[in-house]
């Protein structure tokens, strides 16, 4: 596979030959091994080594075209440059994307963190052991139908014809376990957990195992819940998944495209309870998948989105920042249309709460552990959601698993109805967040 | 005695020249050599899947083309079986040495050693190239598709129709993509097959807003065999349909949660069968022991009203394929006949693990995924009732005219959103409703589909699962479900 310097040199040569003066390239290579097991035997082992690049080209009229390719040898790059040049004549004529003004700005904390990859046999051994322990943890656990252990090296780079060039490398290891129960006369129940870390050595396999067992067993004795309005407590993971589903609130490109619940004028308005504060922080020390620059080469950073309930910031690429008279924030994904995406949410308490709540003495409260089917149940442009969930009914601190139910509401109303943001944060793959209490959500059970 | 068999030490001296821009007969010899090498190392079965993709998408937002995005891709996946264990290695490097490296990695992961330098490499006799692309005159398809200029022109014209027909418009989008894919499947059982697929889709996304009232409606149509598909898109009638639906839903009340009888419309209404039953008939689910139907073949699993098919043969439908991604010709598979489970949907590995015969259903998003048992065009067969019969049977219920997406979990519990719904009172539609989610258990719901109308129609869809996102068709006539939980406010 060519090195980044090879790609830069080849691209410059090919561009010069094609008469292309302005271009940039974002690319990555992924080297990955993953394993799955099934009842004491390896099920499938996967390995891959793949590269891909996105090439943007500006023509003489300064309109831009793009092409992505997995063929990164010189002939593949040449074809991509040619195709992007052809596409450039159909590019937008207003608000044409340009190089980020920060594509060469210094990156404060740049460090390559690749860990040596463990042999596949070690991955298999670890996962087989985890499956065995899970199956022996409780007689009702009859299978672990979804499981996987993976390790991945990622190299990313950005370069442009003005001489900007950046690259970084990272390693990750991750595990997921999802077990299923079977008991005579009872419905099958399930529970799962996920962990990610910088290396297999640091991966908390035991924590994942323990959480899977606890969750699965906690759902064995289930009951129906009556439909109605409830006080709901979202687990960190559940709240972050809902926040992510409505990220158009903060997404400057969505806002400019009128595909958002916010408008440019929403900045500075109160959109949530003053108890809530939210940042997006790619460089958070707990973010295992931290990226130091985005698809346009802009350095990533911490961005305040909601402060004490007030909308205080948007996520930008260089184009949206220019149009909204702001600074790029390092959230660009390049393409024919540069999109914007979040990195790692940090949710924390805002203003001091007048009253604190605890599950230990909660009555008739629903604790939602995991929201499902967000792709089907979230209407991101309408602000509404109706989602199945895994969770418990809490009565005086006692948790009873809920057989099957959905939670529905309006996300903007939910933000205003936050009663309490707990102090103790939890680390999840998507961010750091404590439990969040919300009043008056519709639950459909029986 | 002189042997014509290749000897291991001769491998580095081999010079193969395969046509770079086409998976033709020149690929047979190098791949056969690699298959022989894999067998010599002790693998029971080896498969190469080679792929080239030329994809482009085009987006019109209001009155401008905001994105034209071509994507070029090539790569290969090597699958190696040793007993029932298998390993999948993918790479972008299609050179002989690149493919050999991928194979060697797969063999090594399965604990297999390369043969010694004096070992003979068994000869793998491949069938003569079974070339569906040439047989069915698909080689010229790509050149006959719409140019970038034409894409832009059609989408802008189409978007102007939405402007004319809709009110309270916040944003109008017309979206098109063309996915041209050339594949070659070569495996140690002699399979040697090439195909070209051309998948195109075009549609609208309309967002309307009036104060706090919002509605968003999408509609998409798709095709798998007509290079001129975009040119013949009937965007006027599609625009009208989307505009009417968005207008209806703009001021709709939220549905009151509860248990209701429902009528599900034809076309994309078929997502209920896809999610609640189709996935659970894939051998992928049987293998994982996550299907309640695993041991029910020959037994009644659904209402006697219900017959259902999965097939890859309907001309132009979105899930139609001449061969699957394991080189097997597509089939028409009867899943359920009058409520009795007849067949499962099986790929090679699924067949190996469960014993159910392959059905030409091994599918994958790209070379980055191993094939798995996946649906193609899946639908409930038409029944003897009329739509009037269905509505007349309901005093109070919900008409689900347009479904959103859905999913099914490891315990057989499914759910899907409804984009366009109406209240039925005394057999008549009375008012629009929004915010509905349908929830149920697969085993239970299949026995509650009690009436099927006679107006079977199909719709293009996308299905995400273990082997990535693939193109499928869902379909059904109007059906009645006697009772289902509806999540709402």
pLDDT tens digits, residue range A259-311?
999 999 999 999 999 999 999 999 999 999 899 999 999 999 999 999 999 99
Alpha carbons A73 and A51: distance in angstroms, whole number: 10
How are strands ordered across the β-sheet holding A310-311?
A: A310-311, A302-307, A276-281, A345-349, A431-433, A426-428
Statement to judge: residues A74 and A156 lie in one domain: yes
> Do A68 and B72 lie within an 8 Å CB cutoff?
yes
The total number of residues written for chain B in this structure: 489
Statement to judge: residues A298 and A413 lie in one domain: no
Statement to judge: residues A180 and A253 lie in one domain: no
> Do B410 and A386 lie within an 8 Å CB cutoff?
no
Statement to judge: residues A293 and A326 lie in one domain: yes
> Do B70 and A87 lie within an 8 Å CB cutoff?
yes
Residue B296 sits at the chain A interface (C-beta within 8 Å): no
How confident is the model at residue B350, as a pLDDT?
96
Statement to judge: residues A324 and A296 lie in one domain: yes
Residue A49 sits at the chain B interface (C-beta within 8 Å): yes
Note which residues in 251-290 of chain A have CB less than 8 A from chain B. 257-259
With CA atoms as reference, report the closest residue to A234 among A98, A108, A119, A371: A371
How confident is the model at residue A112, as a pLDDT?
63
Statement to judge: residues A334 and A369 lie in one domain: no
How confident is the model at residue B4, as a pLDDT?
75
List CB contacts (< 8 A) between B417 and chain A. Answer: 373, 376-377, 379, 386
> Do A50 and B75 lie within an 8 Å CB cutoff?
yes
Statement to judge: residues A203 and A238 lie in one domain: no
Alpha carbons B176 and A375: distance in angstroms, whole number: 21
**Of A218, A234, A257, the domain-final residue:** A218
* Each residue's pLDDT tens digit, A15-31: 999 999 999 999 999 99
Statement to judge: residues A380 and A231 lie in one domain: yes
Give the number of beta-carbon pairs within 8 Å between A and B: 218
The structural domains of chain B, with segments of one domain joined by +, span 6-56+70-135, 141-184+195-253, 258-487
List CB contacts (< 8 A) between B405 and chain A. Answer: 373, 375-376
Statement to judge: residues A158 and A87 lie in one domain: yes
Q: For residue B452, with 0-12 CB atoms within 10 Å meaning exposed, 13-18 middle and 19 or more buried, which class applies?
A: buried
> Do B288 and A143 lie within an 8 Å CB cutoff?
yes
Note which residues in 330-349 of chain B have CB less than 8 A from chain A. 349
* Each residue's pLDDT tens digit, A317-359: 999 999 999 999 999 999 999 999 999 999 999 999 999 999 9
Cβ proximity of B437 and A404 under 8 Å: no
Residue A68 sits at the chain B interface (C-beta within 8 Å): yes
* Each residue's pLDDT tens digit, A71-87: 988 999 999 999 999 99
**Of A314, A329, A349, the domain-final residue:** A349
How many domains does chain A contain in total?
Answer: 3
Angle at CA of residue A287, ends A281 and A288, nearest 5°:
150
**CATH of region B141-184+195-253, choose from 3.30.160, 3.40.50, 3.30.420, 3.90.1150:** 3.30.160
Please check the confidence at residue A52 and state whether its pLDDT lies above 50: yes
List CB contacts (< 8 A) between A148 and chain B. Answer: none
Sign of the torsion angle spanned by Cα atoms A421, A423, A426, A432: positive
Q: For residue B15, with 0-12 CB atoms within 10 Å meaning exposed, 13-18 middle and 19 or more buried, which class applies?
A: exposed
How confident is the model at residue B246, as a pLDDT?
96
Domain of residue A375, residue span? 223-242+354-444
CATH number at residue A164: 3.30.2290.10
> Do A258 and B171 lie within an 8 Å CB cutoff?
yes
What phi and psi, each to the nearest 5 degrees, are found at residue B422? -140, 150
Cβ proximity of A332 and A195 under 8 Å: no
Statement to judge: residues A149 and A294 lie in one domain: no
**Of A298, A332, A349, the domain-final residue:** A349
How confident is the model at residue B442, as a pLDDT?
80
Nearest CA in chain A to B109: A120
In SS3 terms, chain A reads as CCCHHHHHHHHHHHHHHHCCCEEEEEEEEEEEEEEEEECCEEEEEEEEEEEEEEEEEECCCCCEEEEEECCCCHHHHHHHHHHHHHHHCCCCCCCCCCCCCCCCCCCCCCCCECCCCCCHHHHHHHHHHHHHHHHHHCCCEEEEEEEEEEEEEEEEEEEECCCCEEEEEEEEEEEEEEEEECCCCCCCCEEEEEEEECCCCCCCHHHHHHHHHHHHHHCCCEECCCCEEEEEEECHHHHHHHHHHCHHHCEHHHHHCCCCCCCHHHCCCECCCCCEEEEEECCCCCCCCCCCECCCCCECCEEEEEECCEECCCECCHHHHHHCCCCCCCCEECCCCCEECCCCEEEEECCCCCCCCCHHHCEEEEEEEEECCHHHHEECCCCEEEEEEEEEEEECCEEEEECCCEEEEEHHHHHHCEEEECCCCEEECCEEECCEEEEEEEEECC
Nearest to A50 among B70, B90, B216 (CB): B90
Statement to judge: residues A213 and A228 lie in one domain: no
What phi and psi, each to the nearest 5 degrees, are found at residue A264? -55, -30
> Do B437 and A66 lie within an 8 Å CB cutoff?
no
Tokens for A126?
Answer: 């670890």
> Do A384 and B254 lie within an 8 Å CB cutoff?
yes
> Do A227 and B258 lie within an 8 Å CB cutoff?
yes
Note which residues in 84-103 of chain B have CB less than 8 A from chain A. 84-93
Nearest to A90 among B149, B171, B207 (CB): B149
Residue to substitute from A27, A56, A70, A257, interface B, most B β-carbons within 10 A:
A70
Tokens for B322?
Answer: 């001449």
B434 to chain A nearest CA, in Å?
9
How confident is the model at residue B1, as a pLDDT?
45
Cβ proximity of A345 and A236 under 8 Å: no
SS3 assignment, position B94: coil
Residue-wise DSSP of B109-175: HTTPPPPPTTPEEPP--PPSPEEHHHHTT-TTHHHHSPPHHHHHHHHHHHHHHHHHH-SSEEEEEEE
Please check the confidence at residue A139 and state whether its pLDDT lies above 80: yes
List CB contacts (< 8 A) between B152 and chain A. Answer: 90
List residues bridging with A407 in a β-sheet: A387, A443
- Confidence tier at A218 by pLDDT (50, 70, 90): very high
Angle at CA of residue B145, ends B142 and B147, nearest 5°:
110
Statement to judge: residues A74 and A157 lie in one domain: yes
Mean pLDDT, chain B cut into blocks of 10 residues (489 residues total) = 75 88 96 96 97 97 96 97 93 94 95 90 95 97 97 97 96 98 98 98 96 92 96 97 96 92 95 90 91 94 95 93 97 97 97 96 97 98 97 97 80 82 97 90 89 96 94 96 89
Note which residues in 314-353 of chain A have CB less than 8 A from chain B. 335-337
* Residue showing tokens 């067998």: B39
Residue to substitute from A377, A379, A404, interface B, most B β-carbons within 10 A:
A377
Sign of the torsion angle spanned by Cα atoms A223, A229, A235, A238: positive
């Amino acid at each position: 596979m060519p090195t980044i310097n090879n790609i830069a040199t080849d691209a410059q040569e090919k561009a010069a030959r094609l008469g292309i003066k302005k271009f940039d390239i974002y690319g990555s290579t992924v080297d990955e091994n993953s394993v799955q097991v099934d009842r004491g035997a390896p099920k499938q082992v996967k390995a891959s080594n793949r590269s891909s690049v996105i090439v943007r080209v500006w023509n003489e009229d300064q309109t831009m075209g793009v092409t992505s390719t997995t063929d990164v040898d010189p002939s593949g790059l040449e074809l991509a440059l040619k195709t992007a040049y052809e596409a450039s004549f159909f590019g937008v004529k207003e608000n044409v994307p340009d190089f980020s003004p920060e594509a060469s700005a210094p990156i404060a904390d740049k460090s390559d963190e690749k860990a040596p990859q463990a042999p596949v046999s070690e991955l298999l051994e670890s996962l087989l052991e985890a499956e065995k322990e899970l199956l022996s943890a409780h007689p009702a656990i009859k299978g672990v139908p979804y499981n996987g252990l993976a390790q991945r090296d990622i190299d990313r780079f950005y370069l442009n014809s003005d001489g900007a060039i950046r690259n970084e490398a990272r390693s990750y290891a991750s595990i997921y376990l999802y077990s299923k129960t079977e008991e005579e006369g009872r419905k099958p129940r399930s529970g799962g957990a996920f962990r990610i870390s910088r290396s297999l050595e640091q991966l908390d396999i035991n924590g994942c195992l323990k959480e899977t067992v606890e969750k699965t067993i906690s759902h064995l004795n289930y009951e129906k819940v009556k439909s109605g309005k409830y006080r709901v407590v979202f687990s960190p993971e559940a709240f972050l998944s809902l926040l992510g589903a409505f990220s158009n609130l903060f997404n400057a490109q969505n806002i400019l495209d009128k595909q958002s619940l916010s408008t440019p004028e929403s900045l500075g308005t109160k959109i949530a309870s003053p108890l809530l504060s939210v940042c997006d922080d790619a460089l958070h020390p707990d973010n295992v998948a931290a990226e130091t620059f985005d698809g346009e080469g802009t350095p990533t950073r911490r961005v305040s989105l909601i402060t004490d309930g007030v909308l205080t910031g948007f996520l930008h690429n260089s184009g949206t920042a220019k149009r909204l008279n702001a600074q790029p924030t390092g959230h660009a994904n390049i393409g024919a249309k540069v999109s914007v995406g979040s990195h790692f949410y940090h949710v924390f308490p805002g203003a001091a709460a007048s009253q604190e709540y605890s599950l230990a003495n909660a009555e008739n409260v629903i604790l939602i552990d995991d929201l499902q089917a967000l792709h089907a149940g979230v209407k991101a442009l309408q602000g509404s959601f109706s989602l199945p969930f895994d969770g418990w009914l809490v009565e005086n601190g006692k948790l009873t698993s809920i057989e099957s139910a959905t939670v529905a509401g309006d996300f903007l109303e939910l933000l205003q109805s936050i009663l309490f943001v707990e102090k103790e944060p939890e680390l999840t793959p998507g961010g750091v967040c404590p439990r969040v209490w919300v009043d008056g959500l519709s639950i459909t059970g029986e | 005695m002189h042997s014509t068999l290749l000897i291991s030490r001769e491998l580095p001296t081999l010079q193969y020249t395969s046509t770079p821009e086409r998976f033709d007969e020149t690929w047979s010899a190098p791949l056969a050599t690699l298959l022989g090498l894999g067998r010599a190392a002790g693998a029971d079965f080896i498969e190469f899947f080679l792929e080239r993709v030329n994809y482009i998408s085009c987006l019109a937002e209001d009155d401008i083309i905001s994105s034209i995005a071509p994507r070029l891709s090539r790569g290969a996946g090597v699958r190696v079986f040793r007993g029932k264990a298998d390993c999948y290695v993918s790479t972008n490097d299609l050179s002989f040495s690149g493919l050999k490296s991928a194979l060697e990695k797969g063999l090594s992961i399965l604990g297999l050693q390369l043969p010694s330098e004096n070992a003979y490499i068994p000869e793998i006799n491949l069938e003569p190239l079974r070339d569906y692309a040439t047989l069915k005159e698909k080689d010229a398809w790509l050149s006959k598709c719409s140019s970038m200029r034409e894409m832009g022109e059609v989408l802008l014209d189409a978007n102007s129709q939405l402007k004319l027909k809709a009110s309270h418009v916040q944003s109008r989008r017309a979206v098109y993509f063309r996915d041209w894919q050339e594949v070659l499947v070569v495996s140690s059982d002699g399979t040697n097959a090439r195909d070209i697929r051309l998948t195109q889709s075009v549609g609208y996304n309309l967002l309307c807003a009036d104060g706090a009232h919002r509605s968003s409606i999408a509609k998409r149509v798709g095709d798998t065999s007509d290079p001129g598909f975009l040119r013949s898109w009937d965007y006027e009638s599609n625009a009208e349909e989307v505009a009417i639906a968005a207008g209806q839903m703009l001021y709709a009340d939220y549905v009151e949660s509860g248990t209701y009888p429902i009528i599900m419309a034809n076309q994309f209404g078929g997502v209920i069968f896809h999610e609640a039953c189709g996935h659970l008939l894939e051998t992928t689910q049987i293998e994982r022991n996550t299907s309640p139907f695993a041991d029910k073949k020959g037994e009644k699993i659904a209402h006697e009203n219900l017959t259902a098919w999965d097939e890859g043969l309907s001309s132009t439908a979105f899930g139609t394929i001449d061969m699957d991604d394991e080189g097997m010709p597509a089939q028409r598979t009867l899943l359920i006949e009058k409520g009795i489970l007849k067949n499962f949907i099986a790929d090679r590995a699924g067949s190996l693990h469960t014993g159910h015969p392959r059905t030409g259903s091994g599918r994958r998003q790209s070379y980055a995924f191993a094939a798995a048992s996946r649906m193609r065009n899946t639908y409930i067969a038409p029944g003897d009732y009329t739509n009037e019969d269905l509505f007349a049977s309901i005093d109070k219920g919900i008409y689900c005219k347009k479904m959103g997406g859905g999913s099914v979990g490891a315990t057989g519990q499914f759910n899907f959103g409804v984009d366009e719904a109406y209240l039925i009172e005394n057999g008549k539609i009375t008012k629009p409703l929004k915010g509905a989610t349908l929830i149920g258990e697969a085993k239970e719901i299949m026995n509650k589909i009690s009436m099927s109308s006679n107006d079977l129609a199909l719709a293009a869809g996308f299905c995400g699962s273990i082997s990535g996102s693939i193109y499928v068709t869902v379909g059904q006539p109007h059906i009645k479900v006697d009772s289902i939980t509806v999540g709402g406010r």
